Amino acid sequence: MKKLIKGGTLVTITSGTFVGDLLIENGKIKKIAKSINLKEKNVEIIDAAGKYVLPGFIDAHSHIGLFEEGIGFMQDGNEMTDPVTPDVRAIDAFNPYDVAIKRALNGGFTTVMIVPGSANVIGGQGAIIKFKSHIVDYCIVKSPAGLKMATGENPKRVYGEMKKMPSTRMGIAAVMRNYFMKVQDYMEKKKRALEKDGVFLDRDPKLEVGELVLKGEIPARVHAHRAQDIVTAIRIAKEFGFKIVIEHGTEAYKVADYLVEHNVPVVVGPHDFRSKIELKDLTYENVRILNEKGVLTAIMVDHPVIHLEFANVHAALAMKYGAKKEDLLKMLTINPAKILGIDDRVGSLEVGKDADIVIWDNDPFLPQARVEKMFIEGQEIKWWGE
C-alpha cells in the first residue's frame, strides 16, 4: 500500500526544509512536493501537520547488540586473545534483542555500522545494518563493510598487561605493517596459483579480508584519538594504498588540514568525560573546526559509552561551541551515509531513495522531542522484543 505523509515539516537535508507532503511507494520515496493529491483509494494517509519529518539517523560507528545492556562483563565485542583478528565478524555476535535497539529506534536511528571493539590492532569485520528485523541476516546492507583497526591506549593496555606485542605505539604500527605485508604476499601467491593452475587451494580467512582492504573494496576503520595516531594511520594507509576512516578523532582538530589534504573522513566522538590520557584534549570545538575546515565528518556516541537514543541531544550540545545546526543534521544523516558509501540509498529525503523516514513530534534537537512513527523501506517499524 502507498503511504502519503501530509503536511509535515520536511527536513530533506539536501534540498532545504519546508512544509509539504511525501509519497512512499514500494519501499522508496516516490514523490516530494508542497502538496500531493491522490485520487486513489488504496493509500494510507499519515497526518504530519505540526510534526518534523526527517530521514532516519545513521550511526557510522556503533557497538550496539555487541556490548549489550544488562549482561555485565559477558560481552561479545572484543576477541582479546590475539592482536590480529581480522577474521571475526560483528554480525556473528550481534543480538537483535538487545533492548538498546528499542531505545535507538526511539532516538530516530534506522541504520548503523556495527564494529568490534578496539582491544586489538586488527579487530575484525564491521557491517552496515538496518533495524528492520529480529533476524540479523535480513538487516544487513553490507558485510563486511570495513575492517576495524585500533591505535593508541587500548591495544597497548590489553597486550602490554599480557607482556605481549604490542605494548607501545611502535609495536602497534609494526603489527599493522606486518599484517598488510602478509596480505600483499598472499595476494601475489594467489595470483600466481590462479595463473598457473586456475585454482587457489590455500585460503586464509585472516588474509582474505585484508585483500578486500588493499583492493579498495572496503576501508580500514581506524580507532585513533590522538593527533599522532591519526597521522600514523594515514602514513600506513599511504604506504599500502588503502582507504581509511578515522574513528573517534578526539584530536582531529589539530590535524584538520592534513585530513583534508589526504581526503580522510572522521567519525567523531563521543564527547563525554576525559577518562584516559588520550582524551585529555577533548573538546566540542572539534565538531565545529572539522566542519569549517571541510573534513567529511559524522558524529558518534560510541554506543554504549553514550546511549544511541540520546545521540541527537549529544550532537545538539555542539551548537553551544559554535557548530551549525545544518552541519550537525548532516553529521547524523547524509555525512555518515557518504562515509559508509550508501548515500545513494539513505541519508536524505530524496525521490528514489529508501523510505527510511522518521516523524518527530518536535525539532529533534530539542531534548523533549519524541519519535512518533518510523519507517524503514516503507514499513512501519516497532521493536520486536516486547
Is pLDDT above 90 for 339? yes
pTM above 0.85, yes or no: yes
| Mean pLDDT, the chain, integer | 96
- HEC string of the chain equals CEEEEEEEEEECCCCCEEEEEEEEECCEEEEEECCCCCCCCCEEEEECCCCEEEECEEEEEECCCCCCCCCCCCCCCCCCCCCECCCCEHHHCCCCCCHHHHHHHHCCEEEEEECCCCCCCEEEEEEEEECCCCCHHHHEEEEEEEEEEECCHHHHHHHHHCCCCCCCHHHHHHHHHHHHHHHHHHHHHHHHHHHHHCCCCCCCHHHHHHHHHHCCCCCEEEEECCHHHHHHHHHHHHHHCCCEEEEECCCHHHHHHHHHHCCCCEEECCCCCCCCHHHCCCCCHHHHHHHHHCCCEEECCCCCCCCHHHHHHHHHHHHHHCCCHHHHHHHCCHHHHHHHCCCCCCCCCCCCCECCEEEECCCCCCCCCCEEEEEECCEECCCCCC
Is pLDDT above 80 for 72? no
Span 27-31, average pLDDT: 98
For the chain, percent of residues with pLDDT exceeding 70 = 100
Span 83-94, average pLDDT: 98
Domain ranges for the chain, please list them.
1-55+348-385, 57-346
Task: Write down the architecture of domain 1-55+348-385 according to CATH.
Answer: Roll (2.30)
pLDDT value of residue 41: 83
pLDDT digits (tens, 9 = 90+) for 238-287: 999 999 999 999 999 999 999 999 999 999 999 887 888 999 999 999 99
Is pLDDT above 80 for 386? no
pLDDT band at 209 (very low <50, low <70, confident <90, very high): very high
Q: In CATH, which of 3.90.950.10, 3.40.30.10, 3.20.20.140, 3.90.960.10 is domain 57-346? A: 3.20.20.140
pLDDT value of residue 272: 82
pLDDT digits (tens, 9 = 90+) for 161-171: 999 999 999 99
pLDDT value of residue 1: 82
